[in-house]
A and B are shown apart, each in its own frame.
Chain A
């Protein structure tokens, strides 16, 4: 029942953009019809999800067909439900947000295409999460990948969007290719395409390792794990903001879903798998946030934070895998619950941040942080939303990011009481790494929030900014409220998480105690509420003191300099300079122009940026080499009909000679 309701919702979502194709590009009806259909589709899906959570699982829906494989089968279990929820929820909000963000009056040429593929993206992601066999999974995967490509290149008149789109396209197809290999392997050892757990001992160790490595490659590429993240920043920055929110919030989580699903199928993972996964997570988290600090483009900065958060999620997965190898229910519960909850949390707060960034772009037309400033005064709602998202993403109490990171912290520290193998010792060192990530994220968001929303406006466009319409602020408010809700009452989401954990490792977790045995969830609510109360009281006191003494506006003390201007504030680059220098070994920051060391230096433009190191240093050079070789082959493409006929003739002769 629940699956059928969801499938109907997906159908609605998939066709939501189609009516718009038959209307005028300038018509306001098209976007509204699309938003209504897509929204109703998502609501139906959420209803189905609620049915699953409250009424329990139902039999999967299967369709037989004559193509290879055993037919298509869709169903829902604890894991699918966890990943399906943000897909539907965020899509719903994106549909609403798009009404204000991408109105036909501003974007007549691109809006129709955007809405068609937005609905398809939701449908593709949900299908792959519901898939109970590899064929349907690949279908969903490809629908998602292609729809996302067309969404990234929504503004295909801009070279930046085209370039980002192609990098994404290559990355996603590489991932699909590896995925084919993985499913072929899986089919070889299990004899069917069904995504069902393999019996212990049924798998030769070599095959298991091969499946695990290919899964890590294919899904890591989609999730944006650190060395495989090259497509992510460009694509997130170039896409329209609600699409970025969807991509960062849920699309990259499909890679995580794949990893979680495949690891749940493989019996008896060796300890080394968990260790390697944990290490990858740490690298991704630390370097992701380090790259984020160096960015000047608001959406690129957020994109690098996605890499960081994927790292945190993967750390949770690694911990859970280690727990499964060691047969320890506490590690599995803490790691997996942290992983799954962070999937939700990241979808919520990163969605919120991208939507707020979208409101900034909508108001000012730029993503360059150094051209913004003082937006908190003109866009108070957006500023508040961004602040909530920023606190949540830094993992600070009392918001939701804290809860998931706390689970992972506790899990990592609990490995201390285990057997002292190398991997376990390593896990203990992952806890300080997580703390480092949190601190760096806080620094990064101090920079982003400070540069964009505080201080003085750095350019005229920031002075005339306006608050976003309600269609944009309402989704932001919903997301912000969800962040606060999960942060304050984490017990609400615990049953869903536990169902997910049980679905991941049924043998070990069937009779395990609930999450709150290890994480003091009720205490979190109390502490959070107390913190909020303290904050409220503090601001009340401050407010009353201000009222008594009055507020005077004056210039900031500028070391005695008498003519300060807005351009003399900290820029995003200068704020981050120290941290970027600390990570210069990885970031390779570039600087163009230098101030001559003379008494009265002339006016010199100095600019710096942090390039995409993996793409620029490791991927593009070999690709350029290959391109050069193939450019040499273009001599053969004469454009002469006669030459082509000669080729045909030669090919025929060669074929005739062939024995």
Chain B
């Protein structure tokens, strides 16, 4: 059981690095979608006894993170006629390197935290920090607005991972609310991407510099 959980977490970390290293947007979307599915699986594992509430949460996570949002993004790509290249500010190699360094630091940082007894050795905490960091990297180093959406999603995945620790303590409504927030956020950003692309006939956020002042 524990071994399986660790394996899943390591897969999530690998997906982080993959998302930083690939040059096709479609591949990043797939990585994020897969990460969403894995998160659903994790939820399933962490929950020792599966009640109705847990089942609902697992299903909602799988559907929203694994299917709805990726499908929406793919649709947005097609609608806005977005080119398939990621167009980074920082090269893929350097991004991956930064991501790896960040992951290492996250592990170190997690050890310094005064965590509760059952979580001290779990990989969950460092993985959550590493995923947040990867999300930030995507947000900061990629030009296209759709990549900002993906970075935001990764960021949220990291927070979700951390939330798994508190599953017993966190009310059901809060988690569902977070999922709903995420969905709305992506939806709004999809609309914004559409507008940016219509206004500037490209979705590079560099164009937004024209709007300053």
Q: How many A-B residue pairs have CB under 8 A?
A: 31
8 Å CB contacts to A: which residues of B114-156? 136, 139-143, 145, 148
Binds B, one of A364-372, A414-422, A513-521, A636-644: A636-644
B205, A641: Cβ atoms under 8 Å?
yes
Residues on A with C-beta less than 8 A from B139 are 642, 645, 649
26 contacts between A and B (CB under 8 A): A638-B209, A638-B212, A639-B208, A639-B209, A639-B210, A639-B211, A639-B212, A640-B205, A640-B206, A640-B209, A641-B145, A641-B148, A641-B205, A642-B89, A642-B139, A642-B140, A642-B141, A642-B142, A642-B143, A642-B205, A645-B136, A645-B139, A645-B148, A646-B140, A649-B139, A649-B140
Tell me, rounded to whole Å, the shortest Cβ–Cβ distance linking B62 to chain A. Answer: 29
Tell me, rounded to whole Å, the shortest Cβ–Cβ distance linking B212 to chain A. Answer: 3
Residues on B with C-beta less than 8 A from A639 are 208-212
> Chain B residue with minimal CB distance to A656?
B109
Chain B interface, DSSP helix/strand/loop, else mixed = helix
Name 10 extra pairs, CB < 8 A, besides A639-B212, A641-B145, A642-B139: A637-B212, A639-B208, A640-B208, A641-B208, A642-B140, A642-B141, A642-B142, A642-B143, A642-B205, A645-B136
> Chain B residue with minimal CB distance to A653?
B136
A639 and B200 alpha carbons, distance in the complex (Å): 15
Residues on A with C-beta less than 8 A from B148 are 641, 645
Tell me, rounded to whole Å, the shortest Cβ–Cβ distance linking A635 to chain B. Answer: 12
A639 and B208 alpha carbons, distance in the complex (Å): 6
Tell me, rounded to whole Å, the shortest Cβ–Cβ distance linking B171 to chain A. Answer: 26
Residues on B with C-beta less than 8 A from A640 are 205-206, 208-209
Number of interface residues of A (CB under 8 A): 9
8 Å CB contacts to B: which residues of A564-584? none
Residues of A within 8 A of B (CB): 637-642, 645-646, 649
Tell me, rounded to whole Å, the shortest Cβ–Cβ distance linking B6 to chain A. Answer: 27
User: Chain B CB within 10 Å — which of A638, A641, A646 has the most?
Assistant: A641
Tell me, rounded to whole Å, the shortest Cβ–Cβ distance linking A417 to chain B. Answer: 66
Number of interface residues of B (CB under 8 A): 16
A473 and B5 alpha carbons, distance in the complex (Å): 91
> Chain A residue with minimal CB distance to B141?
A642
Tell me, rounded to whole Å, the shortest Cβ–Cβ distance linking B166 to chain A. Answer: 19
A339 and B136 alpha carbons, distance in the complex (Å): 67
Residues on A with C-beta less than 8 A from B208 are 639-641
Residues on B with C-beta less than 8 A from A645 are 136, 139-140, 148
> Chain A residue with minimal CB distance to B143?
A642
8 Å CB contacts to A: which residues of B190-213? 205-206, 208-212
> Chain A residue with minimal CB distance to B151?
A645
A646 and B211 alpha carbons, distance in the complex (Å): 19
A140 and B139 alpha carbons, distance in the complex (Å): 48
Residues of B within 8 A of A (CB): 89, 136, 139-143, 145, 148, 205-206, 208-212
Residues on A with C-beta less than 8 A from B145 are 641
A639 and B143 alpha carbons, distance in the complex (Å): 13
User: Chain B CB within 10 Å — which of A637, A642, A649 has the most?
Assistant: A642
> Chain A residue with minimal CB distance to B152?
A645
Residues on B with C-beta less than 8 A from A638 are 209, 212
A453 and B143 alpha carbons, distance in the complex (Å): 68
A649 and B209 alpha carbons, distance in the complex (Å): 20
A646 and B136 alpha carbons, distance in the complex (Å): 8
A641 and B142 alpha carbons, distance in the complex (Å): 10
> Chain B residue with minimal CB distance to A647?
B140
A649 and B139 alpha carbons, distance in the complex (Å): 10
> Chain B residue with minimal CB distance to A638?
B209
A641 and B145 alpha carbons, distance in the complex (Å): 9
> Chain B residue with minimal CB distance to A646?
B140
A208 and B142 alpha carbons, distance in the complex (Å): 61
Tell me, rounded to whole Å, the shortest Cβ–Cβ distance linking B141 to chain A. Answer: 7
User: Chain A CB within 10 Å — which of B136, B141, B142 has the most?
Assistant: B136
Of all A-B residue pairs in the complex, the 7 with the closest CB atoms, nearest first, are A639-B209, A639-B212, A641-B205, A645-B139, A646-B140, A642-B140, A645-B140
User: Chain B CB within 10 Å — which of A638, A640, A646 has the most?
Assistant: A640
Residues on A with C-beta less than 8 A from B205 are 640-642
A641 and B89 alpha carbons, distance in the complex (Å): 12
Residues on B with C-beta less than 8 A from A642 are 89, 139-143, 205
A645 and B206 alpha carbons, distance in the complex (Å): 13
A325 and B212 alpha carbons, distance in the complex (Å): 59
Residues on A with C-beta less than 8 A from B211 are 639
A205 and B89 alpha carbons, distance in the complex (Å): 64
A47 and B100 alpha carbons, distance in the complex (Å): 81
Residues on B with C-beta less than 8 A from A637 are 212
Tell me, rounded to whole Å, the shortest Cβ–Cβ distance linking B69 to chain A. Answer: 20
Tell me, rounded to whole Å, the shortest Cβ–Cβ distance linking B111 to chain A. Answer: 16
Tell me, rounded to whole Å, the shortest Cβ–Cβ distance linking A647 to chain B. Answer: 10
> Chain A residue with minimal CB distance to B137?
A649
Residues on A with C-beta less than 8 A from B142 are 642
Residues on A with C-beta less than 8 A from B212 are 637-639
Residues on B with C-beta less than 8 A from A641 are 145, 148, 205, 208
Tell me, rounded to whole Å, the shortest Cβ–Cβ distance linking A447 to chain B. Answer: 45
Tell me, rounded to whole Å, the shortest Cβ–Cβ distance linking A539 to chain B. Answer: 64
A642 and B207 alpha carbons, distance in the complex (Å): 12
Tell me, rounded to whole Å, the shortest Cβ–Cβ distance linking A584 to chain B. Answer: 42
> Chain B residue with minimal CB distance to A645?
B139
A616 and B148 alpha carbons, distance in the complex (Å): 49
User: Chain A CB within 10 Å — which of B89, B140, B141, B208 has the most?
Assistant: B140
> Chain B residue with minimal CB distance to A649?
B136
A641 and B148 alpha carbons, distance in the complex (Å): 9
Tell me, rounded to whole Å, the shortest Cβ–Cβ distance linking B42 to chain A. Answer: 25
Residues on B with C-beta less than 8 A from A649 are 136, 139-140
> Chain A residue with minimal CB distance to B211?
A639
A320 and B205 alpha carbons, distance in the complex (Å): 67
A67 and B132 alpha carbons, distance in the complex (Å): 43
Tell me, rounded to whole Å, the shortest Cβ–Cβ distance linking A636 to chain B. Answer: 11
Tell me, rounded to whole Å, the shortest Cβ–Cβ distance linking A627 to chain B. Answer: 15
Residues on A with C-beta less than 8 A from B210 are 639
Residues on A with C-beta less than 8 A from B143 are 642
Tell me, rounded to whole Å, the shortest Cβ–Cβ distance linking A446 to chain B. Answer: 50
Residues on A with C-beta less than 8 A from B140 are 642, 645-646, 649
> Chain B residue with minimal CB distance to A641?
B205
> Chain A residue with minimal CB distance to B212?
A639
> Chain A residue with minimal CB distance to B90?
A642
Residues on A with C-beta less than 8 A from B141 are 642
A637 and B89 alpha carbons, distance in the complex (Å): 18
Residues on A with C-beta less than 8 A from B136 are 645, 649
User: Chain A CB within 10 Å — which of B143, B145, B205, B210 has the most?
Assistant: B205
Tell me, rounded to whole Å, the shortest Cβ–Cβ distance linking B72 to chain A. Answer: 20
Tell me, rounded to whole Å, the shortest Cβ–Cβ distance linking B99 to chain A. Answer: 14
Tell me, rounded to whole Å, the shortest Cβ–Cβ distance linking A638 to chain B. Answer: 6
A637 and B139 alpha carbons, distance in the complex (Å): 17
Tell me, rounded to whole Å, the shortest Cβ–Cβ distance linking B150 to chain A. Answer: 13
Tell me, rounded to whole Å, the shortest Cβ–Cβ distance linking B210 to chain A. Answer: 7
A158 and B205 alpha carbons, distance in the complex (Å): 36
